[in-house]
Structure 1
Amino acid sequence: MERFEATYLIETPLDPGKVAEVMAGEQSCGTFTRVEGETEELRNRARALVTSVTELESAAEPSLPNAWLARKGVQGPWRRARIAISFPVDNVGANLSTLASIVAGNLFDLGEVTGLRLDTITLPASYRRLFQMPRQGIAGTRALTGATSGPLIGSIIKPNVGLHADEIAALVTRLCDAGLDFIKDDEIAADPVHAPLAKRVPAVMEAIRRHQDKTGKHVMVAFNITDETDAMRRHADLVAREGGSCVMASLNWCGFSAVETLRRSTDLALHGHRNGYGAFSRHPLLGISFQAYQTLWRLAGVDHMHVHGLQGKFAQEDEEVVSSAKDCVTPLAEGIDDRVMPAFSSGQWAGTAQVTWDAIGHTDLLFMAGGGILAHPMGPAAGVASIRQAWEAVAAGQSVADAAKAHPELQSALDFFGKVAG
């Protein structure tokens, strides 16, 4: 019988090994007591198994409140442990929503814990193949944009909301002329009254086609089609009819089922935006770590995943951004190329190229800058040029500061935005 495995970080005043057994039972065939029909044969076939328990340093105070423990008068110390639990594949089948409810679900509400975090999910190859695959991934995204080497350089439509369809198309024309590979809508701009997709998609794609006719280059635009399922399918069909190559969805708010349905209905690159992920991740003893999170969404078939940016404007440590990017380019199972393109954003500019290169060591990534391009004192074209110049320098082993001596666009970026991140 094939099994998949999930690992967790837990905090409890009880024996972590016994709590792990409670978790395994709760998320498979058991409950708080043995019930009629729960035979040994059934348990042997369907029960989840605790495969390891590694106790860590205890804490003096609980991370989260717990009324169940308070009612029982249970006190600390608050023991922490990493545990691994394996689950029978046959308990789930090819059902992503149920897979998520099994590896997470009620575990976060268990009375035995004062902290619980889903850390990793590991799947056998045969099980991974039952789910959706990326239609474009890294190779397809490069082929569609003609960006065969280096990072794909992208930007975001700004202002976030308020521009009319013709104004957005004019900005897209400017950004195309600046030399971008990729342009995306903001996550809060989907189908607003002042720029509905029915008008925005044709207007923007007319600008994209003009640029492609003039230069031979297709600039990928990720139209934000976040909506209910049927509407997203209609929006994706419109993008495809107009010659587009990418759509974007706010993953957490659409849900697994909607994204899976969208994936099945289109070959467009699917840009997965993780806005809201901080609610799952910012507390170190609650929620879902990125490895598990991106595993679930890759099973839904996304092609790109946001990872934030190094030394950016958000709360995540650089170490988390780096590990997230590495997760995206790591196959979920042996012998399967299901890698997706990590999308770096949030406060990125030419000066963050060095730390990104040093940490990642490759250029199979999407490097998006809003202000780092649109606020460049010499204009957007110089903003794009400065980022390309910085990436070419670091990939060649040259410092960004030295490269700036030969490139006025890069030097202007350093003078305006500040020192190189490091």
Structure 2
Amino acid sequence: MAPRFSVTYYIRAADAAEAKARALDIALEQTVEIPRDVVPKGYVEDEILGKLETLTEDPAGRPGFLATISYSDDDVGGDFLQLLNVIFGNSSIKPGLKVEDIAPSPGILALCPGPRHGIAGLRARAGIGENPLLMSAIKPVGLSTAELARRAHDFALGGMHYVKDDHGLVDQKNSPFDERLRACIDAVGEANAKSGGRTGFVPNVTGPADAIIDRARQAQAAGAGAVMIAPALAGYDVVRTLAAAPDFTLPIVTHPAFCGANVVSADCGFSHRAYFGTLHRLMGADAVIYPNFGGRFGFTREECLSIADACAVGMGGPKAIVAAPGGGMTFERVPEMREAYGNDVMYLIGGALLQQPNLVDACRRLVAAVNG
């Protein structure tokens, strides 16, 4: 018998009988995709078919149940995208089903070794100890390369550990990727020479399928500090492929653009924990950006803390990664965020800094507030 991994689903159902029927349907749909009475006896029924392991009422009080279903590693066949397909392929199209948690087997962890750097590596590259990490974004789209590079310089001079592209910056005529990459790396390097800091520039390499890997390698050759990818746009296996490539050594920061439908529904998609935490660690992300509670997107404090927990909890292999909450963060929110997240976090603050009359001074005040 091959090892088995398990997935826990929330199932909206009126009673246990309905929940069990829906759970058994998931076990069929995610594996053999044929009626139960024609599942071949022997290997297919005993090994390939998903197995309902537990069924309990939802402890969160939603009108439904939690079902844990195990799957054979043989269902996956050493293919990361097939792993995602088994976890929630066809069943993702059905209403009232949500992936709550994923428990990988040793075989799945071998397929998904996880991040190369994790939070410890990102801190080491920034030259800090156990303090929180800080990241800002150059924006908005429409500025020239020179203007964006100037902002990258000032963020770095002010003490940000990482300065990233805005997720909307790709290869626009105002600031082509090649030109912006060189200019911003040079600008950040100039600021580092003045301050003695080790700020890294993080270009957004999300783009056409045939360009993403090339842009990531170009960023590495140019001296970038990391790369940023929006996996819901670019494809989940792109992150895993880069993280596993022996000749690619940069950290990977993931951006949540286009992922909203996966998490915002109360009873469809993925839990915040499973999507932003477990799945991104399996992909190999070193830092995962997500909307913070109290910002402009609507995630709750509990949802955000569940992400941070999943980024750090022991998984039997993949390194802990850094939760990077952002989206409307302000100076006034720093004490609240410090209380919620502690030190193992990357604060992503951009717009609030750009509102200040002196960007460098504003960054320095933020550094003092976070480390105070």
Structures share a fold, TM > 0.5? yes
- Does residue 1:367 correspond to 2:367, yes or no? no
1:324 is aligned, of 307, 326, 330, to 307
Shift of 1:56: 4.7
| Cα deviation code 1:57-113 (max 9, x no counterpart) | 9x9xxxxxxxxxxxxxxxxxx962111101111211331111111111111334xxx
Following the alignment from structure 2 to structure 1, what is the Cα–Cα distance between the partners of residues 97 and 132? 36
Bigger RCO of structures 1 and 2 (CA < 8 A, at least 6 apart): 2
2:259 is aligned, of 277, 281, 284, to 277
Which residue number corresponds to residue 388 of structure 1?
A: 367
**8 Å CA contact retained: 2:100, 2:271:** yes
- Does residue 1:22 correspond to 2:25, yes or no? yes
| Cα deviation code 1:388-414 (max 9, x no counterpart) | 332233xxxxxxxxxxxxxxxxxxxxx
Following the alignment from structure 1 to structure 2, what is the Cα–Cα distance between the partners of residues 276 and 367? 21
**8 Å CA contact retained: 1:8, 1:116:** yes
**8 Å CA contact retained: 2:322, 2:344:** yes
Alignment of 1:258-297 (within 5 A): 258-263=238-243, 264=245, 266-293=248-275, 294-297=277-280
Following the alignment from structure 2 to structure 1, what is the Cα–Cα distance between the partners of residues 333 and 201? 23
- Does residue 1:310 correspond to 2:290, yes or no? no
Shift of 1:197: 1.1
Alpha-carbon distance change, 79 to 350 in structure 1, aligned in 2, over 3 angstroms: closer
Provide the TM-score with structure 2 as the length reference.
0.91
Find the residue that maps to 1:84 and give its secondary structure: strand
Shift of 1:192: 1.3
One-letter identity of the residue aligned with 2:175: A
Find the residue that maps to 2:253 and give its secondary structure: strand
1:243 is aligned, of 206, 223, 247, to 223
Which residue number corresponds to residue 406 of structure 1?
A: none
2:54 is aligned, of 52, 55, 58, to 52
Following the alignment from structure 1 to structure 2, what is the Cα–Cα distance between the partners of residues 218 and 242? 16
| Cα deviation code 1:151-197 (max 9, x no counterpart) | 122211122x0111122112212222222211111111112122111
Alignment of 1:194-273 (within 5 A): 194-263=174-243, 264=245, 266-273=248-255
**8 Å CA contact retained: 1:157, 1:186:** yes
Q: Which runs of 5+ in 2 are unaligned?
A: none
Following the alignment from structure 1 to structure 2, what is the Cα–Cα distance between the partners of residues 32 and 260? 34
Which residue number corresponds to residue 149 of structure 2?
A: 169
Following the alignment from structure 1 to structure 2, what is the Cα–Cα distance between the partners of residues 215 and 391? 19
Shift of 1:282: 1.1
Which residue number corresponds to residue 120 of structure 1?
A: 101
Shift of 1:304: 0.7
Following the alignment from structure 1 to structure 2, what is the Cα–Cα distance between the partners of residues 41 and 237? 43
Alignment of 1:403-418 (within 5 A): none
**8 Å CA contact retained: 2:273, 2:303:** no
**8 Å CA contact retained: 2:157, 2:194:** no
Which residue number corresponds to residue 85 of structure 1?
A: 69
| Cα deviation code 1:277-304 (max 9, x no counterpart) | 2211111011111222232232221111
Following the alignment from structure 2 to structure 1, what is the Cα–Cα distance between the partners of residues 93 and 347? 38
Following the alignment from structure 1 to structure 2, what is the Cα–Cα distance between the partners of residues 130 and 8? 22
Which residue number corresponds to residue 5 of structure 2?
A: 4
Which residue number corresponds to residue 168 of structure 2?
A: 188
**8 Å CA contact retained: 1:228, 1:258:** no
One-letter identity of the residue aligned with 1:356: M
Alpha-carbon distance change, 29 to 357 in structure 1, aligned in 2, over 3 angstroms: same
**8 Å CA contact retained: 2:132, 2:371:** no
Following the alignment from structure 1 to structure 2, what is the Cα–Cα distance between the partners of residues 231 and 148? 35
What RMSD over aligned residues (CA atoms) do the two structures have, in Å? 2.2
Following the alignment from structure 2 to structure 1, what is the Cα–Cα distance between the partners of residues 192 and 33? 59
Following the alignment from structure 1 to structure 2, what is the Cα–Cα distance between the partners of residues 388 and 214? 17
2:124 is aligned, of 138, 143, 168, to 143
Shift of 1:30: 5.0
Find the residue that maps to 2:203 and give its secondary structure: strand
**8 Å CA contact retained: 1:29, 1:46:** yes
Shift of 1:337: 4.8
Larger radius of gyration: 1
2:35 is aligned, of 32, 35, 45, to 32
Following the alignment from structure 2 to structure 1, what is the Cα–Cα distance between the partners of residues 71 and 330? 44
- Does residue 1:103 correspond to 2:87, yes or no? yes
Provide the TM-score with structure 1 as the length reference.
0.81
Alpha-carbon distance change, 309 to 225 in structure 1, aligned in 2, over 3 angstroms: same
